[in-house]
Amino acid sequence: MATLERTIYSIPNLLSLLRLALVPVLIGLAYIGDAKAFLGVLAVSLLSDVLDGYLARKLNQVSELGAKLDSWGDILTYGSMILGLHWIWPEVFKAQAAYLLATMIFFIAPLLMALRKFGEHPSYHTWGAKAAAVLMAPAYYMLVLWDADGFFRAVILLHVLVACEEIAITLILDRPRSNVRSVFCLRTGI
């Protein structure tokens, strides 16, 4: 029991749980249209996302549970970001609708493949996925604050490539696995 408690209550997992707890706050702020508070809470959430992975590696607290919590935090935070666009910045949402639809399709496709093959959500956390997640924060803020959509669209296209890599990883693996660096690492054994 002590091992389980340590795993659940590690600093990285607590940061992921914080991010999950912030999702209803983000949705509420988006619903009432409080752009400033939404962006502030989103910044805290995104910072916790960066810190949880870094601290998990630095403190040697990487775990399957942590990978799953991080993945669910990503899904729900990105969902709240889309709701924020829809409710707070509807004109931006409308202008980016095709890119947002592509994002949702290419997010759902690898998820459904992994669920069908392994019966669980993949938590690959590839290098590409990490890069796309880090780039999404400035891309989102640039989009909503300055209507600069070029970088946002490029990051969305990177997410599409990441999804294709996740599909390839799912096809290659014979069992579920977390924290896969890249499809190329699977082939070379790195």
pLDDT score recorded for residue 185: 83
How many percent of the chain have pLDDT more than 70? 94
Q: Which residue in the block uniquely carries the two structure tokens 């749980």?
A: 17
Q: Packing angle between helix 11-32 and helix 35-58, nearest 10 degrees?
A: 170
pTM of the entire predicted model: 0.87
Q: What is the DSSP letter of 123?
A: -
Report the candidate in 146, 142, 137, 135 with the shortest Cα–Cα distance to residue 44: 137
The pair of structure tokens assigned to 153 is 């669209």
Summarize the confidence of residues 114-120 as an average pLDDT: 92
Q: Is residue 2 predicted with pLDDT exceeding 50?
A: no
pLDDT score recorded for residue 189: 54
Confidence of residue 4 (pLDDT cuts 50, 70, 90): very low
Confidence of residue 5 (pLDDT cuts 50, 70, 90): very low
